């Protein structure tokens, strides 16, 4: 398998951050120059929400990709998770500033009374400690508690997909795709130890040597 030389690892992670932010910058530019169709604020809000969900799914897909295909992209997981966080934050700020004009009573009423917004808000709040602890210092400080804390990403992705499905009048193929992907990624967790045991037995080599 073609592997990226180690000397390019850091640069490739920065490239991922830069490329990952392109959809937000592009959407903002289209909106600012009047080229987003329909309601530009809604369009921009939707674009940010969708990319947030895509980055969440990509973050969760890193481990199954390594298990099933032997491709080790673990080095990109933190960047993907942080991109998801930045997109949720921008999605939330667009909602607060451009959609609701910082009308706090209306925002609070929305969070309390519209279940899809309550769920989105809960996912966003849960994402904050993960973003704050996604650094080497926190990993060292928290030890095994870090792993437990970061399992919340499964709950967040499930809540994000549910929030998407509940935000639309008719649940079409797009929300179903995300729901399906999140279900598959959730199911992989209990299957994974058995699969890796089977794989080790299969070739007699420790699984981590294959990456
Ligand atoms: C993990 C957190 C979140 C994710 C992954 C997420 C994702 C999404 C997605 C995918 C959509 C639908 C986009 C489309 O229709 O194409 C959406 C819509 C929306 N989200 Fe979020 N969201 C999150 C959190 C939030 C939060 C915190 C708020 C506000 C408090 C929020 C408010 C909204 C609103 C107002 C809509 C649009 C509904 C409409 O069409 O009027 N979301 N979100």
- What pLDDT digit, counting tens, does each position of 148-201 carry? 999 999 999 999 999 999 999 999 999 999 999 999 999 999 999 999 999 888
Q: What separation in Å is there between the alpha carbon of 10 and the centre of ligand 1?
A: 32
Under 8 Å between Cβ of 47 and 175: no
Our mutation pick for probing the ligand 1 site, out of 45, 101, 158, counting the most ligand atoms within 8 A of Cβ, is: 45
Instruction: State residue 89's pLDDT score.
Output: 98
Ligand 1 neighbourhood includes 52 CB (under 6 angstroms): yes
Which residues, including other chains, have CB under 8 Å from residue 121's CB and lie 6 or more apart? Answer: 111
Ligand 1, residue 56: give the atom nearest the CA. Answer: 5
Q: What separation in Å is there between the alpha carbon of 43 and the centre of ligand 1?
A: 11
Instruction: State residue 210's pLDDT score.
Output: 46
Ligand 1 neighbourhood includes 88 CB (under 6 angstroms): yes
Ligand 1 neighbourhood includes 91 CB (under 6 angstroms): yes
Q: In angstroms, what CA-CA distances link 19 with 11, 13, 43?
A: 12, 10, 20
The position carrying tokens 């939330």 is 92
Nearest in space to 156 (alpha carbons), one of 39, 59, 40, 90 = 59
Instruction: State residue 208's pLDDT score.
Output: 55
Ligand 1, residue 121: give the atom nearest the CA. Answer: 27
Below-50 pLDDT ranges, the chain: 209-211
The position carrying tokens 């997909």 is 161
């Amino acid at each position: 398998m073609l592997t990226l030389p180690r000397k390019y690892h850091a640069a490739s992670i920065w490239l991922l951050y830069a490329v990952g932010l392109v959809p937000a910058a592009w959407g903002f530019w289209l909106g600012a120059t009047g080229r987003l169709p329909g309601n530009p604020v809604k369009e921009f809000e939707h674009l940010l929400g969708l990319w947030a969900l895509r980055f969440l799914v990509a973050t969760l897909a890193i481990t199954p990709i390594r298990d099933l295909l032997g491709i080790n992209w673990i080095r990109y997981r933190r960047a993907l998770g942080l991109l998801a966080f930045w997109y949720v934050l921008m999605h939330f700020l667009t909602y607060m500033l451009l959609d609701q004009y910082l009308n706090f009573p209306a925002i609070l009423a929305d969070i309390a009374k519209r279940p899809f917004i309550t769920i989105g808000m809960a996912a966003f709040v849960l994402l904050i400690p993960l973003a704050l602890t996604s650094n080497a210092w926190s990993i060292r400080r928290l030890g095994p508690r870090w792993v437990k804390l970061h399992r919340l990403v499964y709950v967040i992705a499930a809540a994000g997909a549910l929030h998407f499905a509940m935000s639309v009048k008719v649940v079409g193929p797009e929300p179903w795709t995300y729901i399906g992907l999140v279900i598959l990624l959730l199911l992989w967790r209990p299957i994974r130890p058995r699969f890796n045991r089977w794989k080790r037995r299969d070739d007699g080599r420790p699984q981590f040597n294959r990456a």
